[in-house]
Structure 1
Amino acid sequence: MRLFKRTLPNQSSLQSADLILDNKIFLFKIWEPYSFKGNLSWTEDPYKDKTWKFYLHCLRMVSFLTNGYEMTKDLKYLKKAVWFITSWMEFNPTPEKNVSEWAWSGHGTANRLLNLIYFWSEYKNSPIYNEDFGQKFMDLLETHGHFLADQKNYEDYNHGIFQDQALLELTVFFKHFKNCNEWQEIAISRLLARFNKDVSNSGVHREHSPAYHVVVHNLFIVIKDFMDYHKIQYPADFSQKLYLMQDFLAYMTKSNGYLPLVGDTGLSSAFNSIEEGHILNEHWAYRSSKGKQGTLPEKIFFAYLDSGVALFRTDLNKHFKNKIFWYFSCAFNSIIHKHADDLSFELQYKNTDFIVDSGKYNYKEKDEFRKYFRSVFAHNTIAVDGKTYPLNKEQIGKSLLFDSYEQSESYYVVQGCHELYSGIRIYRTMIQLRDQALIIHDRIVSDKHHQYTQIFNIGKDVSVIKRDNDNFLLVSKKEDATISLRQMYHISSVSILKGQENPIYAWQSYDFNQKHPITSLHFTKDGQSIEFLTILAMDDSIHIDTVKIHEANNFYHFRFIDIYGNNLFTDIKVRKYSEEELFRQKIRQYGKSKEAKDAWELFSNRNGYKLVRCNMNLNKRQIKNQFFVELNGVLVKTIYANDIDSANQADFYSNGYVYISIANEDGNWSNDERPTKEQLNQYFERNKLILYYLDES
């Protein structure tokens, strides 16, 4: 029988089951087993920890006990599982009647349902089967189904995946429930909607955390397997996005196998995170097998503009002497697993983590250290007036990543900006000069006077040597590797902080409730609109004496000059984006996209061009004018449909149609020719038209 198991039968789970037989509740290794006598009240909270209570009401103990029975066929494990289930039902029979807020949470109910179904698969044919208990158990399962299908109980983020995973499994194995077909339709439609909302078209999970990228990928890959096994259909692009998720994982996993400690991520190897039978992507096959299978991912630079993430790495490419990896992010998609880390980056040089992110620490939002780990001070970005910025829903969409004008073999550029501090816009440009130096240009714009602090958190394996207030040497304790950190503009003051507790600064966390001290460098300037220009040079492999920046023709031109006055590179041009261009990037990063296809028709035949249209089946009232159109990746000028008067103009009209004017020569049409629907559909199969839009529904 193919089903979902929250714990797997192995020696470790058997040991956990044996503890539970002895009235010692074991949930995870981070907590000592909780000993109890007699009955449970189901209000226990021995560690003052909401996560412990969550897993208690998931009945994780039942899963361990079922593991024990599956492995040994010893009925004592099933009997103890029946005892826990009976006790839980007595105190928490319905969502309306229970003793704990954790008894019927959306995510907890989903996990519990999977544990209950797993238990039933072993119990139903066992010698201890009891018809009275079986009927009560069926009633409990049906109550779970009604609860999970009810939209008011749906948790609109990754927890919703667990809910629909459990609901889907219920409908496969308990088809006698009256609402079975309806529940299955709800589960599948919500799963696909959740997947398309939470995973970008480029394959990046949007909850700000590499760890949850892996968690969500693995959730969906086992759901896909389950649907394949039980012959449940899903769209073809479902598999394609899973392939892209693995591609992103291949590029963001560092050379040592660890994920960047961004957002709510802990230190763990990604190499064994996906089962071999679930590998779809040739680059991940190469990374996870350490080169024994698959294809080497050789691309050096990626800007995932629809996701707010950019990556640079030379450590997988033999043509570079210096092995560098950095991960840069600028996205505020939701408050889920979100830290105040917009414009922050993490940098590994050779095998040393020089510039580090914080890790998650825990999920206790009232914990002062948890507050620090989520704050701007735990990340490598800009703080204003000694404060972090709020992490609330009003901030969604105020952080953008956008591309540079050009790239070359000598340099790579990406930009970001945010307006997460009221009345202030902060821009950051990252310029990677081959494998020699990373240039960080911060430009801060405000009408009021503020204190701005540029923060660098230095890894625990790095010594910090101060040369002067503007110049530091970072030295690896592990290997022969150094980075020179230089401020090219005057700094008002600099602070060197180490594992400080009052106030809290300079800590990093690898594991749950674990922290260790690191060093933080805080460079401070006062003013209204100011700039920082910082050079991180690897092993003194490049000697930049002066950087000159001038603005011309909507570009910032960067010149890097050595001590002899020689230009080290040709001028590097960085695009200065207009407000209109930034708004389009906001639509691209936070909105939706839809290809116009299979429904094209001629609207009017005009001199030199055809005006054609396609029904997008979208509500224009919810989109308003928050859209733009691209044809083959090129922006098409937006103009009111009634005013279109030449080729290469487009509109998304109030009737839900997208209109575009196509030059006759582009379609190989004569002036009088009236292309058929079939001809137009063939044209747009060759030439992809994408509508990007923000939906306010």
Structure 2
Amino acid sequence: MPRGLDIEAARRQTFQHSVNTGEVGRLLEGRLTMPPHAEWQLPHEPTWTEDPFQDRNWCFQFHTLRWLEPIRRAAAKGDAAALSMWLHYTEDWTTKNPRRNPASTWAWVDMADGLRAQQLCLGIPLVSEHAPEQLPWLEYSIRDHAEHLADPKHVGKANHALHQAESLFVCGRVLGAESHWELAARRMSSLLKEQYDEQGMNAEGATAYHYNNFLWWERALRRFDAEGLPRPDGAERHLNAPEQIAHATKPDGYLVSIGDTDTQSPQKIAHQHTDYTTSNGTRGAAPEQAVAIYDAGYVFARSGWGDDDRPYSEQTYFTLRFGPSRRVHGHQDGTSITYSSSGVNWLVDPGKYEYGSSTPRLHVISRAAHNVVTVEGRRLLKDSDVELLRRDITPRHHDYVLADPSFDRVSLTRRVIHSVRGEYLVVIDEISGPRRLTAEQRWQLGPEVEAEAVNRSVALSSGNQHAMLWFDGESADVRTVRAQDDPFDGYVSVGWKKLAPATAVIVRKKGARLRFLTVVATGGESQPAVERVQTVSRDDVGLLVTTSHGTEQITISPDDVVFP
């Protein structure tokens, strides 16, 4: 028996045992599918430089060897063909990809190294039972991976570092190497405090990655439980994530598409709040508050959690972004707004699409693709930090003011007022600089939303539901764009490398000092309406707004909001 292999530790660290016979059968036939990618015929003798789809994510997944997990499970239950396949490809990878001269540059990239190390460690029990003569090379490879993972120069960032630390912990336990698993525990503790603030919000800048990280951390921390060891210091921080993820879930049951987030529902979290938001309120329990503001840069607000008169799925929901613009999976989206109501996602963020530098990817991560103001000809400061200056929440209205320093020598503020009774938004953007400016305010509509310009407004519809973007001022140039390829615009991402045509409304103004006054309102099965009304002070804004919830007058002064 090779020295130091703890087979029982490997068994304790194996959490999944079920076998998908269909998936195993396809793999045994060489039919490899690594979602979201198409099926590919796996060669018996790969070079490990294969890249059939010219896709970096596919190459990354190929070298994790996690696609062998269904085969490992089948082999552990006595499937001889599965055992032969698992041994063949793991040993072949090990032989052809030594650390100092691997066949592929993807072989030892961060995170792939860790995920692969876990697969090798979990293979110890089946190899010891069914092919013990194979244990020497397997142990050598695990030790090689552990040394690589322990070296600080190979540690990645954010969730990549998590997967590496988790894998180093597993390696340390199966090798009986206390120095390795204790190092992993220290790294996880530091990472927990770096990636989760005291409110428990994850730092990666995307709702999908807040969800993913919760699942990944749950698995990683469970490994300590399996060994009877205390969880790393800081582990309590991520326990608030389910409630936050519930707030980040729209009334349709899907995560709001902030940052690198496409269509995704947080159904894998076993928690009362996410159960509620993913089941249209039929299971679990709603959070106590309908408004949640997180210091990491998120406002999540909704009209309610559903009742007998109005189901959860019909509630109004909006989000507002602030905070630092540079995040691992975040976009240049400071001050961006999303808005859903009556079962329609009227205003959306553009999604993820893929990773890399394709034209669609560069578009969806850009500031110009989000519901913000962009200033032409001024340098965009990529390290800007949008500050939430005001957050007044009353039973009658919300009032948020943000300062956006994203453009060099430009003062840009956004004020967002939400009427609790009318469920509409009033957005006031003010821009000034040392010389004449040209600015564009963008509103990205959901794919299902149709738009028609009518006077100073854009009428929106989806099925029998209606909404409106109303703009004040005669000097504004309003245009729409949809499914435009050159320059690329008018699309949103709805999945991996999947785009849907989606209209964007763009309002353009020029001047030394600019103000965009916009109302976002819904009318149910009727068109909403907005009118300007006179006010006593020239500094105030008076509006008469008609929505599906009735007609109300609102007066907005620099420091207050009243409903005469």
TM over 0.5: yes
- Partner Cα separation in structure 2 for residue 52 and residue 545 of structure 1: 54
Q: 1:273 to 1:401 in 2, by over 3 A?
A: farther
- Which residue of structure 2 aligns with residue 616 of structure 1? none
Q: How does 1:19-98 map to 2 (within 5 A)?
A: 19-36=26-43, 38-71=44-77, 73-94=78-99, 96-98=100-102
Q: State the shift of 1:520 in Å.
A: 0.9
Q: How does 1:282-681 map to 2 (within 5 A)?
A: 282-288=272-278, 291=281, 294-304=284-294, 306-318=295-307, 323-332=315-324, 334-365=326-357, 367-385=358-376, 389=380, 395-404=382-391, 406-436=392-422, 437-468=424-455, 470-477=456-463, 480-539=464-523, 543-546=530-533, 559-560=542-543, 568-569=553-554, 574=559
Q: Is 1:129 matched up with 2:128? A: no
Q: 1:86 to 1:488 in 2, by over 3 A?
A: same
Q: 1:68 to 1:402 in 2, by over 3 A?
A: farther
Q: State the shift of 1:218 in Å.
A: 0.7
Q: 1:34 to 1:106 in 2, by over 3 A?
A: same
Q: State the shift of 1:298 in Å.
A: 4.2
- Partner Cα separation in structure 2 for residue 216 and residue 222 of structure 1: 10
Q: State the shift of 1:549 in Å.
A: 10
Q: Give the 3-state SS of the residue equivalent to 2:435 in structure 1.
A: coil
Q: Is the 8 A contact 1:214 1:273 kept in 2?
A: no
Q: Is 1:268 matched up with 2:264? A: yes
Q: Is the 8 A contact 1:204 1:245 kept in 2?
A: yes
Q: 1:157 to 1:550 in 2, by over 3 A?
A: farther
Q: Give the 3-state SS of the residue equivalent to 2:337 in structure 1.
A: strand
- Partner Cα separation in structure 2 for residue 526 and residue 81 of structure 1: 64
Please list every run of 5 or more consecutive structure 1 residues that lacks an aligned counterpart in the other structure. Answer: 576-697
- Partner Cα separation in structure 2 for residue 516 and residue 542 of structure 1: 29
2:23 aligned partner, one-letter code: S
Q: Deviation digits for residues 441-462 of structure 1, max 9, x if unmatched?
A: 1112322333110001111222
- Partner Cα separation in structure 1 for residue 102 and residue 76 of structure 2: 31
2:427 aligned partner, one-letter code: I
Q: State the shift of 1:137 in Å.
A: 1.4
TM-score (norm 1): 0.72
Q: 1:235 to 1:39 in 2, by over 3 A?
A: closer
Q: State the shift of 1:285 in Å.
A: 4.7
Q: 1:513 to 1:541 in 2, by over 3 A?
A: closer
Q: Give the 3-state SS of the residue equivalent to 1:242 in structure 2.
A: helix
Q: Deviation digits for residues 630-667 of structure 1, max 9, x if unmatched?
A: xxxxxxxxxxxxxxxxxxxxxxxxxxxxxxxxxxxxxx
- Partner Cα separation in structure 2 for residue 215 and residue 386 of structure 1: 38
1:98 aligned partner, one-letter code: P
Q: Is the 8 A contact 1:298 1:317 kept in 2?
A: no
Q: 1:237 to 1:549 in 2, by over 3 A?
A: farther
Q: State the shift of 1:142 in Å.
A: 1.0
- Which residue of structure 1 aligns with residue 13 of structure 2? 3
- Partner Cα separation in structure 2 for residue 250 and residue 369 of structure 1: 29
Q: State the shift of 1:9 in Å.
A: 3.6
- Partner Cα separation in structure 2 for residue 333 and residue 562 of structure 1: 34
Q: Is the 8 A contact 1:17 1:61 kept in 2?
A: no
Q: 1:373 to 1:136 in 2, by over 3 A?
A: same
Q: State the shift of 1:215 in Å.
A: 0.5
- Partner Cα separation in structure 2 for residue 513 and residue 422 of structure 1: 33
- Partner Cα separation in structure 2 for residue 567 and residue 79 of structure 1: 73
Q: State the shift of 1:519 in Å.
A: 0.8
- Partner Cα separation in structure 1 for residue 403 and residue 559 of structure 2: 14
Q: State the shift of 1:301 in Å.
A: 2.0
Q: 1:87 to 1:64 in 2, by over 3 A?
A: same
Q: Deviation digits for residues 21-74 of structure 1, max 9, x if unmatched?
A: 2334332352222342x5221111111111111111111333231133235x21
Q: Give the 3-state SS of the residue equivalent to 1:106 in structure 2.
A: coil
- Partner Cα separation in structure 2 for residue 197 and residue 549 of structure 1: 51
Q: Name the stretch that deviates more: 521-530 or 537-546.
A: 537-546
Q: Deviation digits for residues 198-217 of structure 1, max 9, x if unmatched?
A: 12222221211111001001
Q: State the shift of 1:574 in Å.
A: 4.1
Q: State the shift of 1:284 in Å.
A: 3.4
Q: 1:25 to 1:475 in 2, by over 3 A?
A: closer
1:208 aligned partner, one-letter code: G
- Which residue of structure 2 aligns with residue 661 of structure 1? none
Structure ranking higher on relative contact order (CA contacts 8 Å, 6+ apart): 2
Q: Give the 3-state SS of the residue equivalent to 1:360 in structure 2.
A: coil
Q: Give the 3-state SS of the residue equivalent to 1:334 in structure 2.
A: coil
Q: State the shift of 1:482 in Å.
A: 1.7
Question: Please, which of 194, 197, 212 is the counterpart of residue 197 of structure 1?
Answer: 194
Q: Is the 8 A contact 1:314 1:320 kept in 2?
A: no
1:63 aligned partner, one-letter code: E
Q: State the shift of 1:463 in Å.
A: 1.8
Question: Please, which of 245, 248, 272 is the counterpart of residue 252 of structure 1?
Answer: 248
TM-score (norm 2): 0.88
Q: Give the 3-state SS of the residue equivalent to 2:258 in structure 1.
A: coil
- Which residue of structure 1 aligns with residue 3 of structure 2? none
- Which residue of structure 2 aligns with residue 113 of structure 1? 117
- Partner Cα separation in structure 2 for residue 93 and residue 2 of structure 1: 29
* Identical counterparts, % of pairs: 20
Q: Deviation digits for residues 514-548 of structure 1, max 9, x if unmatched?
A: 11101111100112331111011221667542386
Q: State the shift of 1:140 in Å.
A: 1.1
Question: Please, which of 107, 120, 123 is the counterpart of residue 103 of structure 1?
Answer: 107
- Partner Cα separation in structure 2 for residue 490 and residue 2 of structure 1: 70
1:341 aligned partner, one-letter code: D
Q: State the shift of 1:83 in Å.
A: 0.9
2:363 aligned partner, one-letter code: Y
Q: Give the 3-state SS of the residue equivalent to 1:142 in structure 2.
A: helix
Larger radius of gyration, structure 1 or 2? 1
1:244 aligned partner, one-letter code: N
Q: Is the 8 A contact 1:357 1:380 kept in 2?
A: yes
Q: State the shift of 1:331 in Å.
A: 2.8
Q: State the shift of 1:327 in Å.
A: 1.3
Q: State the shift of 1:383 in Å.
A: 1.8
Please list every run of 5 or more consecutive structure 2 residues that lacks an aligned counterpart in the other structure. Answer: 1-10
Q: Is the 8 A contact 2:374 2:439 kept in 1?
A: yes
Q: Deviation digits for residues 128-181 of structure 1, max 9, x if unmatched?
A: 221xx3112111111111111111111122211111111111122221xxxx22
Q: 1:493 to 1:541 in 2, by over 3 A?
A: closer
2:503 aligned partner, one-letter code: T
Q: 1:378 to 1:333 in 2, by over 3 A?
A: closer
Q: State the shift of 1:350 in Å.
A: 1.0
- Partner Cα separation in structure 1 for residue 208 and residue 230 of structure 2: 28
Give me the CA root mean square deviation: 2.8
Q: Is 1:232 matched up with 2:229? A: yes
Q: Is the 8 A contact 2:469 2:518 kept in 1?
A: yes
Q: State the shift of 1:310 in Å.
A: 0.5
